[in-house]
Homo-oligomer: A and B are copies of this chain.
Amino acid sequence: MKIMVINPNSSVEMTRHLEKELVKIKRPDTELRVVCPDCGPITIESNYDAVIAASCMLPLVKKANAEGYDAIIIACFSDPGIEAAKEVSDILVLGIQEVSLHVAAMLGAKFTILTPLQKRVPAKEYEVRRYKLEQALASVRPLGMTVAETDADPVRTKERILEVARQAVEEDGAEVIVLGCAGMVGYAEEVERKLGIKVLDPSSVTLKVCEGMVDAGLKHAKRAFYATPPAKLFKGSPCNA
């Protein structure tokens, strides 16, 4: 099967890194392409960034449909533009937040999302409501580090993940931790072992579930919420029309 993974962040470096991780775990019979848009923010750290990134990313969704892919994964934890992407796609579209939150809900009583900064907490809570999973949310907890800082200081990042995950377990009743940012990936195994809980890397989990869903012939319904948009005039020439 052919899966296109779209990183809505326009950073080529981050995209290559993601590709390297996913290639390791894909099934041998999966043809994987990991891409990012030519325009838009280098990293997504606000709703503003997400809107621009979504508009820049949508042409890639159309392209995957045109080129015979079987499924598309939107690989940024805020799932920017996920509803619009499903509208313009006839093939399965999955967001890494969407899949990892549903999987988290199956693996324990409640889950906690780790996010870089305190000011992103309400956005994450809002996104959990988007997926109607608020009943299974233990908490959203910030590391108190920017994305750049998690990249620059892996030692402190690991320490903070352990510390915050422990608080989530002890104070909020979390049994599953969802790593809500690419910069946190790579420490899951150690945290799992030390705390006796489950820690999910959203991109990896989504790729494997996506392979299963493609095998099962699953697609999103096109009747109403994700119906193909009516054709119409778009003025101007943004990169995304």
Q: Which residues in A have some Cβ–Cβ distance to B below 8 Å?
A: 10, 25, 27, 37-43, 45-52, 54-56, 58, 81, 83-84, 87-88, 94, 98-99, 102-103, 105-110, 118-123, 125-126, 129-136, 146, 169, 173, 175-176, 195-198, 200, 204-205, 207-213, 215-216, 218-227, 229-230, 232-241
Contact = CB atoms under 8 A, between A and B. Distances in A.
B220 A216 contact: no
25 contacts: A27-B215, A37-B236, A39-B238, A39-B241, A42-B232, A42-B233, A46-B229, A49-B232, A51-B51, A51-B58, A51-B84, A52-B55, A52-B58, A83-B126, A94-B106, A109-B225, A119-B223, A120-B224, A121-B173, A126-B130, A129-B129, A176-B221, A198-B220, A209-B212, A211-B212
Nearest to A139: B173
Tallying the copies of this chain within the complex gives 6
B38 A236 contact: yes
Contacts of A48: 58, 84, 87-88, 229
Which one of A103, A106, A204 has the greatest number of beta carbons of chain B within 10 Å?
A106
A9 B48 CA distance: 19
B47 A84 contact: yes
A133 B106 CA distance: 11
Among A88, A132, A210, A241, the most chain B Cβ lie within 10 Å of the Cβ of: A132
Nearest to A138: B122
B122 A109 contact: yes
A121 B235 CA distance: 27
Nearest to A210: B212
A180 B209 CA distance: 22
Contact of A224 (B99, B175, B237): B175
Contacts of A216: 25, 204-205, 207-209
Given A84-B47, A105-B131, A106-B99, A208 B212 contact: yes
A215 B12 CA distance: 28
